Amino acid sequence: MNISTVGVVGCGLMGSGIAEIAAKSGFAVKVREVNADALAAGEKRIRKSMDRAVAKEKLSAEDRDAAWARFTFTTEVSDLADCDLVIEAIVEELEAKNELFVALDELCGENTIFASNTSSLTITDMAAATQRADRFVGLHFFNPVPVMKLVEVVRTIATSDETFDRAFAFAKALGKVPIAAKDNSGFVVNLLLVPYMLDAIRQLERGVASVADIDTGMALGCGYPMGPFLLCDFVGIDTLYKISEIMFDEYREERYAPPPLLKRIVTMGRYGRKTGMGFYDWSGDEPVPLPI
Ligand code: CAA
Ligand code: NAD
């Protein structure tokens, strides 16, 4: 069974990137958001990213227009019924994800594969809520999706070989480098990356150095593309908090526990670059560290 039509549910930071690369790779893409405003914001994000690629001469205007013509934008879940693959990229909450997958399970044909882009939930917890656990995988992309080459392809004990192979081939067709991961919370990358980000916050709480100096230290001292606080703002502080809660709940290890400062920042509504404030103020040309 070939994949030709891809559904992407959730068009925030990740969903917009996944939808963009799928359309650019020749797939018909149906994007679903919760309401017209969120849909318009997602559509705008995809447009802006593709226009930027054209301005940088990484994409021709002709290819951008061809990709644009492959999109359908909708607020109706039922419009995804004929998709060959549905990739979920909504908020990191099991209840919301399962509500969506149960609805899709009723609507979609028996050959449709379901995939989640979750950062920290197990695929098993979603697959078990449907009648198609054998056709359920994790497809974990990295932010920013158009740039980052990796996709973790995650199989549960119930995922069929055929489903895994189709998902793996799909990731390759997007020009990504897939790796096979087992279904444990955090898969491969977040198992190591999330404790690092949380530890940076803990060191900030201890007063080791400022946000800017810790970031400069890790970027220049280790050759990382950005320091941990810029990365937190980039990922989304709200999302990092949810990831931390889920991983701590799973492993009960201190290194996954959300530091109190992380919770304070979420409570203040400072979700990072996407809302204009996190550890940094993003309103100007360059991010400026905020008082913590
Ligand atoms: N969309 C599309 N392209 C983008 C982009 C975006 N949002 N942001 C940057 N780019 C492109 C730029 O166009 C540029 O391309 P060219 O070199 O071809 O012109 C390239 O990326 C580099 O961009 P910049 O020169 O503007 O900036 P940079 O050199 O600082 O790179 C970055 C930006 C690629 C984001 C880099 O800083 C980086 O790799 N940061 C770390 C990202 C990371 O660790 N991601 C993983 C997050 S964790 C995760 O995703 C998992 C999870 O579950 C939470
Ligand atoms: P985000 O907050 O930017 O976007 C989530 C979007 O989902 C919002 O636009 C929201 O309106 C929409 N949404 C919520 N419920 C919906 C529903 N039932 N149907 C359709 N749309 C719905 O979040 P994000 O950063 O894009 O994260 C999405 C998922 O990807 C999460 O599971 C997250 O853990 C995972 N992820 C995030 C990153 C990252 O760096 N931010 C990286 C990899 C994976």
The per-residue pLDDT for range 185-204, each reduced to its tens digit, is 999 999 999 999 999 999 99
From atom 40 of ligand 1, which residue's Cα is the shortest distance away?
Answer: 225
Q: Are residues 39 and 146 in the same domain?
A: yes
> Residue 84: which CATH number?
3.40.50.720
Q: Are residues 218 and 82 in the same domain?
A: no
Q: Are residues 84 and 175 in the same domain?
A: yes
**Looking at residue 292, what is its pLDDT?**
87
**Looking at residue 10, what is its pLDDT?**
98
Q: How many domains does the chain have?
A: 2
Q: Are residues 64 and 141 in the same domain?
A: yes
Each residue's pLDDT tens digit, 115-136: 999 999 999 999 999 999 999 9
Is the dihedral angle over the CA atoms 185, 191, 193, 197 positive or is it negative?
Answer: positive
Instruction: State the pTM of this model.
Output: 0.97
Q: Has residue 110 got a pLDDT over 90? A: yes
- Give the catalytic positions in this structure: 119, 140, 152, 190
Q: Are residues 141 and 9 in the same domain?
A: yes
Looking at the CA of 245, which ligand is closest? 2
What is the span of the domain harbouring residue 172? 5-182
Q: Are residues 97 and 61 in the same domain?
A: yes
- Pick from 182, 206, 239: which residue ends a domain? 182
Q: Are residues 29 and 94 in the same domain?
A: yes
Looking at the CA of 196, which ligand is closest? 1
Q: Are residues 30 and 66 in the same domain?
A: yes
Q: Has residue 54 got a pLDDT over 90? A: yes
Looking at the CA of 43, which ligand is closest? 2
Please tell me the distance between residue 131's alpha carbon and the centre of ligand 2 in angstroms: 24
Q: Has residue 1 got a pLDDT over 90? A: no
Each residue's pLDDT tens digit, 56-91: 999 999 999 999 999 999 999 999 999 999 999 999
Question: Is 221 inside any structural domain?
Answer: yes
Choosing from 147, 179, 184, 222 the residue with most ligand 1 atoms within 8 A of its CB, the one to mutate for a pocket test is 147
190 in ligand 1 pocket by Cβ < 6 Å?
A: yes
Q: Are residues 142 and 228 in the same domain?
A: no
- Pick from 133, 160, 182: which residue ends a domain? 182
How does the average pLDDT of the chain come out, rounded? Answer: 98
Each residue's pLDDT tens digit, 223-280: 999 999 999 999 999 999 999 999 999 999 999 999 999 999 999 999 999 999 999 9
Q: Has residue 108 got a pLDDT over 90? A: yes
Please tell me the distance between residue 225's alpha carbon and the centre of ligand 1 in angstroms: 8
191 in ligand 1 pocket by Cβ < 6 Å?
A: no
